[in-house]
Structure 1
Amino acid sequence: MGRNAHFNNEQFIDTALKIAAGQGPAAVTIAAVAGDIGAPVGSVYHRFLSRDVLMAEVWGRVAASFQDEFLTALEKGEGIEAALHTPRWVRQHSAEARILLLYRREELAAGSWPEEMKERAFGISLRLDAGISEFAARTFGKAGREEINRTVFAIIDVPYAAVLRYIRQGKKPPRAVEDHITKTYNAIMRRTK
């Protein structure tokens, strides 16, 4: 008869996220994660074949957490809500924001990802690209390079730049950031004739 598990996958993912957000991705080792929650190292390896697999899970969870509401706003045609999602999400998810906005996916898990995780990451990217393209087409009547560039600048680049300084300082972006993003969004996304 098997033993009851004392730890679950979510606890290990939460711990890896906490360590990476506080000390950087390089600080995340299987031993550090196990030690932080008092689990045997083998318990971590039993669930995650490697550190890279664990960090890929961290990235997947964080990326999905951010993108779900972002893409929902785009699908509803609410570009300004998508743009404002960034500072709002950052305020509510400061550790996750450090992971998503300060580090590239490759910095979190540089090794080989299992096929399932590669497909998941690819799916997240495809969904984002499709959401942006569809929103640009609805907003401007077409989704050419210029329309896509304007859309990306207004809903991704500007909000990212607006919150990055605060994330690096370990602070939450002030609400005034939303006003600046709104003004910039309105100026950029105004339809030209």
Structure 2
Amino acid sequence: MSRPPRHDEATLLDAAVRLAAAGGPAAVTMSAVARESGAPNGSVYHRFPQRSALLAELWLRTLGEFHDACLPVFAEHAEPHLAAGAAARQVVAWSRAHRERAVVLLHGVEAFGRAEWPAAQLRRERQAARRVRQAVTGLAERLGAETPLDLDRVSLAVVGLPLAVVRRHLHAGTPLPGHAEELAERGAIDLLRGGGS
């Protein structure tokens, strides 16, 4: 049985996450990833032919992990306000458990050179965006949202608000307060109930 490669894609992307979290997307270079992972430069180029492919995979893997953890929560409660609160709570909980990955996402996709990504990665990014839209739209429908304002309110409650709860602390390098999950959950429910949805 052949041994798995020492410097596989996951190992290299883990190194890229650490670099991006510490120094921003600009810190993620081919040579920096090689140093951080202990891999030869050739191993990095073998997995990622150019830096744009590396940045794309870094973003897409991190985003996929976030979506896999958070989007299923939308459907876990029959009562849609509670579903929204649970989804908002999960965004904060995931960010607490995966601080470096959350910092990566807070930089935004454009900071990872989206305009230069290969076509295959751009297609995957569009698929990920559709997945989020479908989850938010489905929740909005359950809440009886009918207008663009209603839909934006739902998006704010389950995406914008919990990200605002974590952003300040992650950017400052300070711990998330113990009540951050509760703040996001209550804020989402209050926003949606107060908005008449």
TM over 0.5, shorter chain: yes
Query: What CA distance in whole angstroms lies between the structure 2 residues aligned with 1:28 and 1:179?
Result: 34
1:45 corresponds to which residue?
45
CA distance 1:65–1:6, shift in 2 (3 Å)? closer
Select 2:192's aligned residue among 186, 189, 193. 189
Query: What CA distance in whole angstroms lies between the structure 2 residues aligned with 1:172 and 1:117?
Result: 33
Deviations 1:87-141 (A, max 9, x none): 101110010010001x12121135521222111100000010111011101112x
1:30 Cα deviation from its structure 2 partner: 0.5
Query: What CA distance in whole angstroms lies between the structure 2 residues aligned with 1:163 and 1:119?
Result: 29
1:131 corresponds to which residue?
135
2:80 corresponds to which residue?
none
**Is contact 1:53-1:109 (8 Å) kept?**
no
Moved over 4 A (4+): none
Give 5+ residue unaligned stretches, structure 1.
none
Query: What CA distance in whole angstroms lies between the structure 1 residues aligned with 2:64 and 2:96?
Result: 17
The number of aligned residues is 190
Query: What CA distance in whole angstroms lies between the structure 1 residues aligned with 2:73 and 2:168?
Result: 25
Counterparts in 2 of 1:1-193, with a 5 A limit? 5-77=5-77, 78-101=83-106, 103-140=107-144, 142-190=145-193, 192=196
Give aligned-pair identity as a percent: 31
Classify the secondary structure of the residue corresponding to 2:176: coil
Deviations 1:17-59 (A, max 9, x none): 1111111111111011112223221211111011111111111
Mean Cα displacement is larger for which, 4-13 or 90-99? 4-13
Query: What CA distance in whole angstroms lies between the structure 2 residues aligned with 1:66 and 1:72?
Result: 11
CA distance 1:70–1:48, shift in 2 (3 Å)? same
**What root-mean-square deviation, in Å, do the aligned CA atoms of Structure 1 and Structure 2 show?**
2.0
Classify the secondary structure of the residue corresponding to 1:6: coil
Classify the secondary structure of the residue corresponding to 1:7: coil
CA distance 1:145–1:120, shift in 2 (3 Å)? same
**Is contact 2:86-2:185 (8 Å) kept?**
no
CA distance 1:46–1:143, shift in 2 (3 Å)? farther
Query: What CA distance in whole angstroms lies between the structure 2 residues aligned with 1:137 and 1:143?
Result: 8
Classify the secondary structure of the residue corresponding to 1:175: coil
CA distance 1:149–1:110, shift in 2 (3 Å)? closer
Q: Which TM-score applies when normalising by structure 2?
A: 0.88
Query: What CA distance in whole angstroms lies between the structure 1 residues aligned with 2:180 and 2:39?
Result: 41
Q: Which TM-score applies when normalising by structure 1?
A: 0.90
- Which residue type is aligned with residue 158 of structure 1? L
Classify the secondary structure of the residue corresponding to 2:143: helix
**Is contact 1:94-1:172 (8 Å) kept?**
no
Query: What CA distance in whole angstroms lies between the structure 2 residues aligned with 1:109 and 1:130?
Result: 25
